[in-house]
Amino acid sequence: MRNPISPHPFFATLALILLGCAPMADTQARTGDPLAEQRAFFENMREMCGQTFGGRTIYAEEGDRTFEPARLYFTVEECGEDELRIPFIVGGDDSRTWILRMREEGLTFFHEHIREDGTEYETSGFGGHATRDGTATFQSFPDFWETEETPAAERRVWRLRIDREHDLFVYYLDRGGRPAYRLAFHLGPPSPASDR
């Protein structure tokens, strides 16, 4: 499998970060609120409203060049009380949007994928509900559509990490318990807005 980690200083610490999981925080225990960490994560993302961040693919499965060699950007663009719409731009392709929703039942993360004519790609809508063991800076989202019949090799989990110590935002996708994608974005200072 290919693992193209750049020698640039920005990526120097990624090998230690990308495969790790965040420790559980104790906010839930202190407050008795099972969704406290999910709400805190949502608010941490909402604090980025109006900002654009550039990044790149750090890891992809062998032969998968979906996000390479394009420059990647995300913009926390539409910031409601319970929904964030985050366009994810791959080179000149702005068909993808990440969506975070914080509702009474918990946090969800999913992907909207729209063609130029306004119709949805068949893959639009994939994502998951946050687990209850996340933190204010790290959340996991097992696949909405996973069932007991889903082959183990196809089971997907998305994870999002806000790493202020290293000024990184990391998007993970695991498939079948193995890494499928790792995308890393530099959180500071914000990048110039991409031409959309």
Domains and CATH numbers, the chain: 34-186 (2.40.128.20)
Judged by phi (left if over 0) then psi (alpha if -120 to 50, else beta), residue 94 lies in alpha
pLDDT at 11: 47
For the four alpha carbons of 181, 59, 170 and 75, in that order, the dihedral sign comes to negative
pLDDT at 8: 46
pLDDT at 28: 53
pLDDT at 16: 42
pLDDT at 3: 41
Q: Is the pTM of this model over 0.85?
A: no
Residue with tokens 């990044």: 55
pLDDT at 195: 58
Q: What is the DSSP letter of 130?
A: P
Token readout for 82 is 């319970």
pLDDT at 188: 80
The partner residues of 87 in beta bridges, in order of sequence, read 97
First to last CA, the chain: 33
**What are the Cα distances from residue 72, in Å, to 88, 95, 156, 193?**
7, 13, 22, 11
Judged by phi (left if over 0) then psi (alpha if -120 to 50, else beta), residue 131 lies in beta
Mean pLDDT for each 10-residue chunk of the chain (196 residues)? 42 47 51 89 97 95 86 96 97 95 97 91 91 97 92 94 96 96 88 58
pLDDT at 123: 82
The torsion angles phi and psi of 79, rounded to 5 degrees, stand at: -125, 85
> Which residue, among 79, 52, 55, has the nearest Cα to 170 in the 3D structure?
55
